[in-house]
Amino acid sequence: MLRRIVHFFLIAVIFLPVAVLLILSFSEHWIFPDVLPENFHRQTWLRLFSTESELRQSLGLSIVVSLCVAFFSTLMGCILSRAVSTSRYKKYYISLAYLPYILSPVVLGVLWHYFAVVIGLNASFIGVVSAQFLICFPFGFIILSSFWTRHISNYEELSITLGSSEWFRFKKVIFPLAKPVLGLCFFQCFLISWFDYGLTQLIGGGQVKTLTLSVFNFINEANIFLAALASLLLVIPPMTLLFFNKKIILKRTLIH
Amino acid sequence: MRKANSLTKFLRLIYVLLIVVPTFAGFTYALLHSLGLTGLLTDGLTLKYWSEALRDFYMWKSIGFSFLIAVISVFLSFCIALFLVLKLTDDFQKKWFHRLLFLPLCFPATVMAFYVMQTFSKSGFLSRLSFQFGWIDHIESFPELTNDAYGIGIMLTSVLLVFPFFTLFLKNIFDAERLQDYGLIAQSLGAKPRHAFWKISLALLWQKSKSTVVLYIIFVMGSYEVPLLLGRQNPQMITPRIVDKAQRFNLHDIPQAYVMALIYLFLVLLLISLMSTRFVQFFKKKTHA
């Protein structure tokens, strides 16, 4: 009996957020004390597909920002974790990568804001991508550090012995082996960037309107229906990833 | 070979620069600004902003409030996770149950806070349901669960965000350490279930997860979006307070924001060093001596 109650409670707790957001995204009026909104229609969703839709622009911008951040974080994470993997002080290098997370990205954003203004990167796309990169890259580094094991260096040594060039070694040995972990790192960094609000708001100064900023804007405008739609759009990519690979979601949560 | 070595060293230097330089540059600028040595209001070395901030009751209240919210949220999440792992151990074998627990991990803090706002606020779903059932006769009769003085909304959101992760995390430890087998052995040797729980399951799970618990306390303390949506001006969590001060039009508030950021960073580093193994071992040795 207890088991069934817990199951029911757990299902309710986990599915209610999705249900509430779905209901709100298909409504327009919700006056107290009605439990459910008056009319259900597709009006809010249809707005997403109109050419002048602010939400669509935010969605597009969020995708581009997150893809850039994920690409550069994975690239730099891969190159630098390789360089650090042979160091005696590898443990200390990895500990250093936790610094931006422990010190809170938003607090760091406050401290970086002055430099963003001086360099002329505030309120710009590049400024937001750079700030998010400084947070995501250490995370990518942590993930990719676990790839460079003794096993991988044995493969490298073997290919050197057999006379392969550096490029051939990367293309035919390292890259195929690293593909899963590179994919994992890319998606993790994509999600961190996708979910970010504080840094984007601080460095972007509200000018770089990503999807998370749109959620806040709609809430401030008391437009809970569009806020619900924007929230659902935020949840779709991680849910798609969950469908394909549970590990991606779990590792992100472990660090972030 | 030498070329390869110098390239590796150069890349390591780049790594250190990318991690350390932005953090310490921000740190140094905040320190100089808070001491009146830079910024638009610079008028020479002064401890004015530090003494003002250190005497600011509301700053300490914000730090204490953030810490309390974080500790309570993480404690509740840990308890829920422990209950699920120990009471529903067999259910984790079922694919649907395992997948179910992954679902909340897809929710960003912003979205979860928005959901809590729409469900638990005075005009939310629960309030409307209570009205229909006749439990309340007016919107104002519904208790304040969001933007409240005790941070209930913030804690609720944090628990909803953290407990699924803790459940999966503790379950991994439970399996890796074969705690079910240990429990059965202890009971077959005469231990009561209560003893097996306190002396084996809880002790081992806590031992293996305490550093993650501390990290999560720090993460919740530094959360920004959730208190921004579900918090209030007084008491306010420390991160929105720092951002508020830093973004005000009054230029005298900016050095204070930097002081608060530095104090917060110092306290977080202190908390980490207090919890580090070396520190704990040091005290263990002292106690044994």
Q: Is A6's CB within 8 Å of B87's CB?
A: yes
Chain A residue with CA closest to B260: the answer is: A107
Question: Does a structural domain hold residue A142?
Answer: yes
Question: Does a structural domain hold residue A36?
Answer: no
Q: Is B123's CB within 8 Å of A32's CB?
A: yes
**Complex-level ipTM:** 0.86
* Residues of chain B neighbouring A84 (CB-CB closer than 8 A): 11-12, 15
Say whether domain B59-233 belongs to CATH 1.10.3720.10.
Answer: yes
Question: Does a structural domain hold residue A74?
Answer: yes
Question: Does a structural domain hold residue A123?
Answer: yes
Residue B88 forms contact with A (CB below 8 Å): yes
Q: Say what the pLDDT of residue B1 is.
A: 55
Question: What tens digit of pLDDT does each residue of A157-210 get?
Answer: 898 899 888 888 888 888 899 888 898 889 889 989 999 999 999 999 888 999
For chain B, the domains span 59-233
Q: How far apart are CA A204 and CA A122, in angstroms?
A: 6
Q: Say what the pLDDT of residue B289 is.
A: 43
Q: How many separate domains does chain A show? A: 1
Q: Which two tokens stand for residue B137?
A: 């006769």
Question: Does a structural domain hold residue A44?
Answer: no
Q: How far apart are CA A31 and CA B275, in angstroms?
A: 50
* Residues of chain B neighbouring A224 (CB-CB closer than 8 A): 118
Question: Does a structural domain hold residue A47?
Answer: no
Rounded (10°) angle between helices B57-87 and B253-275: 40
Q: Are A230 and A211 in contact (CB under 8 A)?
A: yes
Q: How far apart are CA B137 and CA B7, in angstroms?
A: 73
Q: Which of A63, A27, A7, A19 is nearest to A234 (CA)?
A: A63
CATH of the domain at A126: 1.10.3720.10
Q: Is A107's CB within 8 Å of B222's CB?
A: yes
Q: Which two tokens stand for residue A19?
A: 């249900």
Q: Are B49 and B34 in contact (CB under 8 A)?
A: yes
Question: What tens digit of pLDDT does each residue of A62-120 get?
Answer: 999 999 999 999 999 999 999 998 888 888 888 888 888 777 888 888 888 888 999 99
Domain that holds residue A94: 57-255
Write the CB contacts of B70 (distance below 8 Å, at least 6 apart in sequence): B158, B216, B217, B218, B219, B220, B221
Q: Are A75 and A224 in contact (CB under 8 A)?
A: no
Question: Does a structural domain hold residue A211?
Answer: yes
User: In Å, how far are A204, B34, B52, B170, B226 from B255, measured between CA atoms?
Assistant: 21, 5, 10, 43, 25
Question: Does a structural domain hold residue A15?
Answer: no
Residue A24 has its nearest CB partner, among B19, B118, B169, at: B118
Question: What tens digit of pLDDT does each residue of B45-84 get?
Answer: 888 889 988 999 999 999 999 999 999 999 999 999 999 9
Beta bridge partners of A40: A27
